[in-house]
Each structure stands twice: as C-alpha cells, then as structure tokens.
Amino acid sequence: MMNTNETPKTLLEAVKFFGDYENCHKFMVEARWPDGIVKCPTCGSDHVTYMANTRRWKCYGKHSRPQFSLKVGTIFEDSPLPLEKWLPTLWLIVSCKNGVSSYEVSRGIGVTQKSAWFMLHRLRLAMQNGSLMKMNGEVEVDETFIGGKARNMHKERREQAIHGTGGKDKTAVMGFLERGGPVTATVIADRKKRTLQSLVKSRVKAGAALYTDALASYDGLEGEFFHQVVDHAVEYVNGNCHTNGLENFWSLLKRSLKGTYVQVAPFHLFRYLDEQTFRYNQRKTNDFARFIAALATVVNRRLTYKKLIGATV
C-alpha cells in the first residue's frame, strides 16, 4: 500500500497529486487489484504485459480484446477524459458536504457542463451501496417528500406543477437509520401500508427495536418488531422513541438538493440519494478515507449515457 505520507489530505493536495498520471496509475492498480496481480478484465488471466508507451496491458489469452487500460471494467470505461480529471472530481463529490454541481465541475476541470453532469452521475454509481445486510438494534424509519415548494414558484408555474396539497405532485422517499450504524434511503411509489411494511420487513431484522411516527401504514408491525411510535402532532421525542436521526439526514439531503442542485428530476433522484447516504455513512472519516472507499467500488460498474437518460434506442 502507498505510504500515507505521500497521499493527499486536502483538495489542493489532491489536485496536484492526481495531476501526475503515475500517481493515478498507482492508486487505480491498488484499487482494482489489491493483491498486486493484474488480471485481464475479459478472461481473468494474469498472463499480461504492461506496455508503458501506450499505458495499456496486453493479454495473451485468446479473445477479441487482448489490450486493456485501467479504465476498462470500471465506471470510467470509454471515457475520453483522463484519470487526471476523473480522480480530482471524485475527491470533490465525496468531500463536499452539500454536493458539487456540474457547473462547478465544468469550470473547475475544463470540460463542458454536459460532460461534467455525466461524470457526476457515473461517480454516484460508485457511491451506491448494495448491501443486503438487514439493520438490527435500534432502527428509525421515516418518510419525506422531495419537490419544489409552492410558495417559491411563480403563479403560472405553481398552477402547472401543483394540483393538490401535502405530498401531491412530489416524490416520496423512505429512509432507514440504524442508530450507531448506516442510513439508507429509497424512492417509493406511495406511502400505503403494503408498500412501507414490505420495505421494513426486507431491510430490518425481525426483533429489532423500530421507531416510527404515527402514520397508520405502520400499524401491525408490533408482532415482528419492538415497535414504538412518536406522534409528531404532540411531541418529537418520547424517551428513546424518536426519528431525529433521520430528520437530520433529511435536512442534509434537502439542503444539497435545493442549495446545490436546485432542481432534480424524479427519474434521477435515487442517484442523489446514493450520493448523500454515502457521505453520511462516511461522515466520521476524513476526505482521503472517503475517497478510497469510493474508489474501491468503481470496478465492475458501468453507466452508459443512453441508460442514464433512459433512451430506448
């Protein structure tokens, strides 16, 4: 592993450090092949030779893709942008508490806004946590709505976008927080009993202490969980029963959506949830540790532009 005295600790140091391709090369090799043995992403063979002039490896296996670069098989694959631009951008998105906009990235690294937008979404894929472990212990569960506030809209825009009260015309999001552990959040179709209880049972271990608000959709969970309810119309804390941890997470999420990203399409909302949950779960670590945690998950993940925009052809 690289000497920690050589590694960057601030954004300025990261920009200088990753401006050197050799440093990018060392980090990517260690992230992709921790055991130090470079293997072909197509056939898995370790019978490969590095060609320094082209910065590629040649595999001696018999297949149609004998040469490969560090980007092949990662979220960076097929990108014309060098790692010297990708890695500082990854550092930015994992370290900025309220996120970073595509316009800021565009100006900062010298690419178009459209390219920066695509880059950030590919990096959010690396920040996605696909853990199948169920939460245990004390678990807070809550929902919120994401969408523009009617009072901030022009009258004509408000008449077009808002057709009801409360969560009408907004996107519902459900969150789970294991106290002292991780948080997860997911977009949900509705807040009906079947929807919410199905998610609770799939993500929380039976017998755990479950804390929710007084929404009727949670009624009936007492048989499988130690379920306690706090009625927010009366109080926000009742002894150990509260959802303040998730309320804090919702505050951070909405601050980034409204303050940094301004407008987020419901189609892409889950990607911003992945970004915010990653930073929240890594909040007790430093910028370098968050960077390494994200870099370790760039392999075997791919997001094409057509898939990103939902193109069918």
What is the rounded (10 degree) CA torsion for 90, 93, 95, 97? Answer: -170
Give tens-digit pLDDT for 182-241.
999 999 999 999 999 999 999 999 999 999 999 999 999 999 999 999 999 999 999 999
CATH fold group of domain 138-264: Nucleotidyltransferase; domain 5 (3.30.420)
| Percent of the chain residues past pLDDT 70, beyond the cut | 91
- Give the pLDDT of residue 311: 76
Token pair 């959506």 is found at 257
Q: Are 38 and 46 in contact (CB under 8 A)?
A: yes
168, pLDDT greater than 70:
no
pTM: 0.89
Burial class (CB in 10 A: 0-12, 13-18, 19+), 60: exposed
Residues near 138 by beta carbon (within 8 Å), at least 6 away in sequence? 178, 179, 180, 208, 209, 211, 240
Residue spans per domain, the chain: 4-129+288-309, 138-264
34, pLDDT greater than 60:
yes
31, pLDDT greater than 90:
no
Nearest to residue 116, comparing CAs of 98, 128, 104?
A: 104
Averaged pLDDT of the chain: 90
Give tens-digit pLDDT for 235-246.
999 999 999 999
Confidence class for position 33, pLDDT limits 50, 70, 90: very high
